[in-house]
Amino acid sequence: MKRVSGKTTLFIMMLMFGIITSSTVIGAVQAQPYTGVTTYNLNSVYMINENEGWAVGYRVTIIYWDGGMWSTVTSPLTDPSSELNSVFMVSASDGWAVGREGTIIRWDGTNWNTVTSPTTTTDYLTSVFMVSASDGWIVGSLGRMLRWDGTNWNTVTSPTTTWLNSVFMVSASDGWAVGQQGIIHRWDGTNWNTVSTPITTELLSLFMVSSDDGWAVGRVGTILHWDGTSWNTVTSPTTKSLTSVYMVNANNGWAVGDVGTIIHWDGTSWSEVTSPTSRNLFSIFMVNSDDGWIVGANGEIMRYIPPEWIPEFPTGIILPFLLILMSSVTLILRRRLRKRKNQIDAK
């Protein structure tokens, strides 16, 4: 049998490498989700910029993006049953995360530390939004509302005992909160007031583009739009529950939800986008119109690289393969050079 030359072998291996690295993207877009960093649910993601971001989730999971890879960060919480539901970064050295049992933790630029909470262990905190380093809000179960004054978190009188799922502040004197039964509340700088809502379906996420332009999404594909005067239902391309919405601007927005649902707003209508996963998606954050992240069930992480959402490939799998491949190529080249040298010496 004729032996394959070293040069041919090298070519074949390089070709295989090209196919494998290509399938990392092409194959993943078709079906294969990423679970390399954690297998626990990731509930919230917040990007400071394209090179720095955080995600939090079940079993006190905290992961950090350094511009090249996601890695696990030590949590100050020791109870494995604890869960973090929302993360918000004021800056690279100041951030907050909240969760079950009234949990509040803060990032100081070096470590995450627990912070005194005015709640009880029966409270479930669902969403945090910071206006600035000295002003922020948290909402949660049974209408719980907390405000940060720069020193402490304090309980604020709430207009409801209904579970609140999301809070978004346009400014220190203008903000919104949504929750179960389609309830909507607005902050006027002094009080939270109930606002008329056209639905009774639970709302799960909220994003305000401005004081007169905002969106809320929820169960069974519910989508509401604020036009500056009232909240109105908008035609939805899905009946799947929508868990998170993020608007890049008035004409470009995204929402994600159950069973891998991803939808996009183009300034005129919402349309469903091909998704590379069937796992439930819980949070979306867009760095800009061409760069964004989604996290979800079982450690799902996806990044937007126009025109598609692509699951991150587990570095822990590809690096060992590359090392083996490089070693094999080096060995072949050495053998080839040694054989060539022997042929020259024989002459």
Q: Residue 337: pLDDT above 80? A: no
pLDDT band at residue 339 under the 50/70/90 scheme: low
Question: What phi, psi does 180 have (nearest 5°)?
Answer: -65, 155
Summary mean pLDDT of the chain? 87
pLDDT band at residue 328 under the 50/70/90 scheme: low
Look up the pTM and report it. 0.82
Per-residue pLDDT reduced to its tens digit, 108-153: 999 999 999 999 889 999 999 999 999 999 999 999 999 999 999 9
* Mean pLDDT, residues 25-43: 58
Q: Residue 204: pLDDT above 70? A: yes
Q: Are 127 and 139 in contact (CB under 8 A)?
A: yes
Question: What phi, psi does 311 have (nearest 5°)?
Answer: -65, 140
Q: How far apart are CA 31 and CA 347, in angstroms?
A: 57
Q: Write out the H or E segment, with its range, that includes residue 180.
A: none
Q: How far apart are CA 123 and CA 106, in angstroms?
A: 18
pLDDT band at residue 178 under the 50/70/90 scheme: very high
Residue with tokens 């760069």: 291
pLDDT band at residue 314 under the 50/70/90 scheme: very low
Q: Residue 3: pLDDT above 90? A: no
